[in-house]
């Protein structure tokens, strides 16, 4: 059951292309927020430029107690808190840590809609050492999967150059 007094990570739905502005406003208010950004090479007719874009467009993660959610909902461009059946859906700390670790290294990955299920593993070598994730068959190859149930999205990475250790069967 959800304890409204304990701070947890929540995903908030934001108006399109307002993620950076909203994240900055939340941080200025002294509230911990996380906007995962990835660098992409954008091409125009006359030039190319590296641009930081949100990993999950229209979402910002914020660590707050549920009873304080109105502090975030009052920020302009915030549409609502992510949840299912009128219940908020907290994002687990290990999922936030996994996203931060992934973005800290130049790893190749794809964000896909839906949740990909697989066996639980711990990465024992490589740049993502220590990360707990899942391993599943995706497009005919074994891939490392980080699922974010609150957003119904998964991050899929190649397993090349990493050693994996199976973890007892449990959900991450």
pLDDT digits (tens, 9 = 90+) for 44-68: 999 999 999 999 999 999 999 999 9
28 backbone dihedrals φ, ψ, rounded to 5°: -65, -30
Q: Which residues contact 17 (CB under 8 A, 6 or more apart)?
A: none
State the residue range of the domain holding 76.
Answer: 7-88
For position 51, which CATH number holds? 3.30.70.940
- Model pTM score: 0.90
Q: Check: CB of residue 121 under 8 Å from CB of residue 134.
A: yes
Q: In terms of domains, do 21 and 80 share one?
A: yes
Q: In terms of domains, do 19 and 74 share one?
A: yes
51-80 residues labelled b (16+ CB within 10 A) or e (exposed): eeebbbebbbbbbbebeebeebeebeebee
Question: Would you write out the chain's pLDDT as a tens digit for each of its 172 residues?
Answer: 678 999 999 999 999 999 999 999 999 999 999 999 999 999 999 999 999 999 999 999 999 999 999 999 999 999 999 999 889 999 999 999 999 999 998 778 999 999 988 889 998 887 788 888 999 888 788 899 999 999 999 999 987 767 788 887 555 5
């Amino acid at each position: 059951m959800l304890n409204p007094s304990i701070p947890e990570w929540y995903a908030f739905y934001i108006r399109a292309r307002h993620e950076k502005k909203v994240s900055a406003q939340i941080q200025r208010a002294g509230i911990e927020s996380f906007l995962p950004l990835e660098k992409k090479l954008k091409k125009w007719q006359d030039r190319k430029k590296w641009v930081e874009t949100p990993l999950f467009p229209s979402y910002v993660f914020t660590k707050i107690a549920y009873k304080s959610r109105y502090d975030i909902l009052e920020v302009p461009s915030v549409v609502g808190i992510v949840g299912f059946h009128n219940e908020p859906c907290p994002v687990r700390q290990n999922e936030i840590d996994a996203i931060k670790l992934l973005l800290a290294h130049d790893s190749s990955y794809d964000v896909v809609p839906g949740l990909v299920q697989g066996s639980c593993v711990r990465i024992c070598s490589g740049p993502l050492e220590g990360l707990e994730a899942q391993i599943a068959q995706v497009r005919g190859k074994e891939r490392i999967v980080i699922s974010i149930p609150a957003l119904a999205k998964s991050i899929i990475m190649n397993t090349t150059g990493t050693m994996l250790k199976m973890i007892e069967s449990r959900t991450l």
